[in-house]
Every structure is written in structure tokens, then in C-alpha cells.
């Protein structure tokens, strides 16, 4: 068996954003040189359906020509407030407007079909945050509601029907940001909450998602001071390694929210953030904007995989999770001749 090049082990741990609507020199560098595992699409990348489909084909072709695994191609298509794709794509009113199982099924069915048609294979949905009625929740316009069991049920349906149609679902934002009133896009919110309180409410939808074998879980950029008073969830071993993987038993792909967000970037440089991510047993670092942090992150992952035996061991487990997910949802059986142990 052949050992995997460190560049591939490292690159697959990154999902990145980019500028432009066609395959360009920046994308070529990200895919062929940094060997990133995935890309994420935003409004700045999106035009007519034919343009998006061509962009996705070109990106996948660039990876295939290098003998790399197929790319995760992700998008935030929740419906309502967060829907990157505009008409002619179907416009849904969003999670708060869903009144029952049929509407959740229809959203998942149509969304999966439309995303697959343009080459997207991962939807950063559903939102499993709970918006309590007595809190001016930042997620009130995006959450299914305030009842944990209702949120769990609706989320389960969306996950099941997206994934039944070959679309990877990513449940977010673990372990729940519905109690926050401060937007983590701009600053780092603190929650004075302990695990017992989360277990009784916020974690219920995520437990259901785990039981439903959700493809991925996205971490929040919130500091849960009763669990980890130092690190936000996206950088916290107590949240991912201990709670999500240890006590809740999730062995699927875990990713951060965007490391460019205001909750992270002003407080933690990219080297610190990546060090924490690897130590916490998080699989994928999400960096949504063009800039030097992407290359710096790739270099830091390579160095840590080379230099730290514990990180290297965890990194191989992480790579197996990523490749396992790609094999389950994407074509081909890449890396069958490599030693992944």
C-alpha cells in the first residue's frame, strides 16, 4: 500500500470560497496546488444555471486531472433569509414558514434536484437551532421554531429527503445558537449555559440528526462558558472531541463555520485557529473568502500533520471520514490503493 502525500491529507481538510463566476487561476491554485477538499458557492459566484453547472464541472475536472478525490461543492440553500440561488431556482419561504412534514419533504425534494442539476452536492442545511420565544434570537428568522421536538422532527425529514436523493445535508450550528442575540458574523457571543441545559433542549435536534446519519455537522462560533470558558465551539476540544464525538457518539464529518467571521478573525489568527481545529478533532476548516489565510491554513495543517504524532493519528481518522463521505455520495472509489491507517 502507498502512503498518502501529506499535501492531500492536509488539503482535504479545507473547504474554501473564491471570487468569480468561472474557473480561473485562483481556483486552479486552490484545487491543484493546495488540493482543497471542497469549495463553497456564494452570490458572487452565481449566474444562470448553465454558468453554475459549467463552473462546477470545470472544478471537478481539475481535481480529477490531478488524481484527487472529487470535491465537496457546497452552498447555503436553506430557503427564506438564506438562499444563495435566486430565480429561476425555486424560492421557498424558509424554515419558520414550514407547517408540516409535506412542506419539509417538498423543500428537500426540489432543492436536492435543483442543486444536483448544477453540480452542487452538499447543502449547508438544515438549521437545527432552537429559537426560544422569550429570547430575541438571532436565528428567529431561520429556525423551525422553539419546540425542540418539532425542530428535531422537521430537521429529520429534511435530512432524510435530501440525502435519499444524493444531496449531503449539513446540520447546523452545533451545539445550538438560538439563544444568542449577538450575531457571530460580527463578534464573538458568550452564552452562560451548561451542558445539562443544552441536553434538555438545544441538543435534541442534533441527537435526532445523528441517529439519521446526517452527512455533516457545522459548529457554531459561540463560546459556551459552562462547557468551555476559553474557546468558541468551532475551536473547542470540549465541544467536538468530548461532547459531540465522545458523549453523543458522532463519527461523521464535522466542520467549522466560516473562519472569516467576526467571532473568530479579530481574536484568533489563522495559525491558532487551525491548531485548535486539529486538536479538537474537527475535520474541515471553512474559509469563505479569498485571501492569504487559505494558503496559511494549508501550510499549518501540513506542518502539524508532519510534526505532531497525535495530530497525525487524528488526521488520518479525519481523512477517512472525509473520503468515506465522498465515496458514499460521489462517484468513484478514490484512494482504494492507499494506506489510510
**pLDDT tens-digit map of 45-54:** 999 999 999 9
Q: Tell me which CATH code domain 2-330 carries.
A: 3.20.20.300
Chain centroid to Cα 331, Å, comes to 20
pTM value is 0.95
- Name 230's Cβ contacts closer than 8 Å, sequence gap at least 6: 223, 236
Look at residue 185 in the predicted model and tell me its pLDDT.
Answer: 75
Cell of 132: 426560544
Residue whose C-alpha is closest to residue 74's, from 206, 183, 172: 172
Catalytic site includes residue 257: yes
Q: Which of the four pLDDT bands, split at 50, 70 and 90, describes residue 284?
A: very high
Which candidate in 257, 258, 260, 293 is catalytic? Answer: 257
For 199-233, how does the pLDDT look when each residue is reduced to its tens digit (9 = 90+)? Answer: 999 999 999 999 999 999 999 999 999 999 999 99
Does 257 score more than 60 pLDDT? yes
Does 36 score more than 90 pLDDT? yes
Look at residue 201 in the predicted model and tell me its pLDDT.
Answer: 96
For 86-125, how does the pLDDT look when each residue is reduced to its tens digit (9 = 90+)? Answer: 999 999 999 999 999 999 999 999 999 999 999 999 999 9
Catalytic site includes residue 221: no
Give the mean pLDDT of the chain. 93
Which candidate in 22, 185, 251, 269 is catalytic? Answer: 185
Amino acid at each position: 500500500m502507498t502512503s498518502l502525500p501529506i499535501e492531500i491529507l492536509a488539503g482535504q481538510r479545507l473547504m474554501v470560497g473564491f471570487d468569480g463566476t468561472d474557473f480561473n487561476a485562483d481556483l486552479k491554485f486552490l484545487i491543484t496546488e493546495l488540493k482543497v477538499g471542497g469549495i463553497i458557492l456564494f452570490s458572487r459566484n452565481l449566474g444562470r444555471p448553465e454558468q453554475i453547472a459549467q463552473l462546477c464541472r470545470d472544478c471537478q475536472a481539475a481535481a480529477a486531472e490531478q488524481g484527487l478525490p472529487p470535491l465537496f461543492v457546497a452552498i447555503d440553500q436553506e430557503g427564506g433569509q438564506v438562499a444563495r440561488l435566486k430565480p429561476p431556482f425555486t424560492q421557498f419561504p424558509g424554515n419558520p414558514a414550514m407547517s408540516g412534514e409535506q412542506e419539509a419533504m417538498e423543500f428537500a425534494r426540489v432543492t436536492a434536484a435543483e442543486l444536483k442539476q448544477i453540480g452542487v452536492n452538499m447543502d449547508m442545511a438544515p438549521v437545527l437551532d432552537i429559537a426560544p420565544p422569550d429570547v430575541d434570537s438571532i436565528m428567529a428568522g431561520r429556525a423551525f421554531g422553539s419546540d425542540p421536538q418539532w425542530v428535531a422532527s422537521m430537521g429529520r425529514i429534511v435530512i432524510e429527503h435530501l440525502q435519499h436523493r444524493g444531496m449531503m445535508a449539513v446540520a447546523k450550528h452545533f451545539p445550538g445558537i438560538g439563544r444568542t442575540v449577538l450575531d457571530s458574523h460580527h463578534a464573538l457571543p458568550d452564552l452562560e449555559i451548561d451542558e445539562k441545559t443544552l441536553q434538555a433542549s438545544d441538543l435534541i435536534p442534533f441527537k435526532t440528526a445523528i441517529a439519521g446519519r446526517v452527512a455533516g455537522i457545522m459548529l457554531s462560533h459561540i463560546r459556551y462558558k459552562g462547557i468551555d470558558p476559553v474557546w468558541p465551539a468551532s475551536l473547542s476540544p470540549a465541544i467536538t472531541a468530548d461532547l459531540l464525538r465522545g458523549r453523543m457518539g458522532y463519527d461523521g464529518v464535522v466542520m467549522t463555520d466560516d473562519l472569516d467571521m467576526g467571532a473568530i478573525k479579530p481574536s484568533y489568527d489563522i495559525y491558532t485557529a487551525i491548531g485548535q481545529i486539529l486538536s479538537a478533532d474537527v475535520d474541515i476548516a471553512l474559509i469563505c473568502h479569498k485571501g492569504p489565510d487559505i494558503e496559511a491554513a494549508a501550510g499549518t495543517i501540513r506542518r502539524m500533520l508532519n510534526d505532531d504524532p497525535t495530530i497525525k493519528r487524528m488526521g488520518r481518522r479525519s481523512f477517512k471520514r472525509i473520503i468515506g463521505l465522498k465515496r458514499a455520495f460521489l462517484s468513484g472509489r478514490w484512494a482504494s490503493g492507499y494506506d489510510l491507517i
